[in-house]
Structure 1
Amino acid sequence: NRIYNATNIDPTFAKERRVTCPRTGGNTNLAPFDPTPARFDTAYFKNLVKERGLLTSDQALFSGGSTDKLVETYSKNPDAFWVDFGKSMIKMGNIKPLTGNQGQIRVNCRKVN
């Protein structure tokens, strides 16, 4: 619905996406999440600043909220992104998941089995 109803979307981008994603049909069509899928870069953040986020949840990161400043920083300063990304990967690598009977895989992620 974003490409048809949203007001915080670049009009040219919306028009391009409507060709790929018509209101009816087109369920097997693909739209790129990122214009540079073969490179690990900050194009994703640059697109958000230009109101070219593909999903509503993407564009929500740059829509007048608490994450705007971070998105803008990453769009202008790739080095800041690389540093923060590296720290995040280390932090995630240190997560110790529960195993065996210490934890559970939820049937419904919103409630304990």
Structure 2
Amino acid sequence: MLLNLWYSDRCTRQIKLMICIATCAVIFYCTEIQKLPTVFAIISLALGIATHILYQYKQKLGQNNNYAQALQWLISIFPLVILAILIFMLPTINQLYTALQCIGFCALGLFLVSIYENRSPRHDSNG
């Protein structure tokens, strides 16, 4: 699963930064052609954040918990179903570009929250 790669040590901070920049570039390019309505962008960001929260909750449960398998299924299916519904509801004019923006904002929601939560603590230079 791609989330396992994103949260692993193999995905370094530099790789995460490059992925975020590339995602922003794709969103910017698509916005030049057709702007995504704000409500879809907000829902997409919330979906990415919800995916992160579900993944973190699954990690805290561990593998031996009875709910871990059901939560794994929910993490795999939930974002895809909601994203498909969002894409289906998009205006038909340049739908490919708005769909790419939806996917990009969903990814950015996940990326930003996961990077912020897993950041290194700052060192206080005053003490």
The one of the two structures with greater contact order (alpha-carbon pairs below 8 A, sep at least 6) is: 2
Larger radius of gyration: 1
Q: TM-score, normalised by structure 1?
A: 0.26
Higher helix fraction: Structure 1 or Structure 2?
2
